A and B are shown apart, each in its own frame.
Chain A
């Protein structure tokens, strides 16, 4: 076992998490779960940013991650408010039933 963890392992983990996020987004039908898969994808990208920040010995990658977190927070707030409003009108969270504009 090497004493240091190779960078490619971290990037591979990030790729796996991103693919899981894509899988969740495409295969799940509950809109909140799809939203959570988006958050999973964002987290995977955050990990990549931090790894590259480590590699380049600069803090800029972490600042990008920070901004991604801020934007994700704003997005979660507005997105969940939209989901609440949609639920009030349609009483369902299944994306298949929400896909047309008529009732």
Chain B
């Protein structure tokens, strides 16, 4: 059951990822990215990270991507114009990407631990209790700094995009 679920959601993630890159209209790319994030949330569930799966949907798919879609709808520039990229770029780019992917995958397959794989339910440490305990004891300092960071981002975004209603 686990391999089937993994393959289904990994396939959805990869197809949506390819769609993000290939679609010309930014809204289609954004919605495909939502699909990637949702399937990644399911994969997090399979890996025992329950709270993280829900947080992924709430934060990434439900807030960040809605922000993206808002901005795209507000700007409303339509499909992307095909520009004349450099010939050398278009010649060398795809092979270099394939080499990147190939080398990373080779290193992974060579060095990944070969013991028991991922089975749903074997790791129960991703509960909210253990997550919260680690977050508020070991990682308290980064947590507080992250909250200040978010506050800075809010103030910065408002300062940049604020329009006086006259």
Contact = CB atoms under 8 A, between A and B. Distances in A.
A-B complex is real: yes
The secondary-structure label for the interface of chain B is helix
Interface of A: 1-13, 15-24, 26-30, 32-33, 35-37, 39-40, 43, 46-47, 50-51, 53-55, 57-60, 62-63, 65-67, 69-78, 80-85, 87, 92-94, 96
A10 B40 contact: no
Interface of B: 2-4, 6, 10, 13-14, 17-18, 20-21, 26, 29-30, 33, 36-37, 40, 43-44, 46-49, 51-52, 55-56, 59-60, 63-64, 67-68, 71-72, 74-75, 77, 80-81, 83, 85, 93, 97, 100-101, 104-105, 108-109, 112-114, 116-119, 123, 125-126, 130-131, 134-135, 138-139, 142, 146, 149-150, 152-154, 156-158, 160-161
Given A54-B118, A93-B75, A96-B83, A17 B13 contact: yes
Contacts of A24: 20-21
A78 B150 CA distance: 10
CB-CB nearest 7 A-B residue pairs: A74-B153, A4-B117, A8-B112, A81-B160, A81-B157, A24-B21, A19-B101
